[in-house]
Amino acid sequence: MRMILEIYDVVRVIAPISSVRVDASVPRVKDVLVGDVGTSVMVLAAPGARTSYEVECVDPDGHTRWLAALFADEVARVSTVGAT
């Protein structure tokens, strides 16, 4: 069964991600590293296309570290929407 993420689910990166998939418009953008934790901020789905998720990772100061479109098999859910 495929994992389906919801907006605001927290995920951990479990696979290497190419730097070409990172949104370069983000100031001070960093590479996505295996083990990074981020939040799903958008579901990108279209008929006939593989669903991806726009995931944002922030630094301790709250600034965006990276923003990238990731596939479900590249992340593991850490917590779900509404989890406390």
Per residue in 52-66, pLDDT tens?
Answer: 999 999 999 999 999
Q: What integer pLDDT is reported at residue 22 of this predicted model?
A: 93
Q: Which residues contact 20 (CB under 8 A, 6 or more apart)?
A: none
Share of the chain above pLDDT 90, in %: 73
Distance, in Å, from the CA atom of 76 to the CA atom of 47, rounded to the nearest integer, reads: 24
List C-alpha distances in Å: 32 to 5, 19, 27, 48. 19, 7, 14, 27
Q: What integer pLDDT is reported at residue 1 of this predicted model?
A: 58
Please give the model's pTM, rounded to 2 decimal places: 0.89
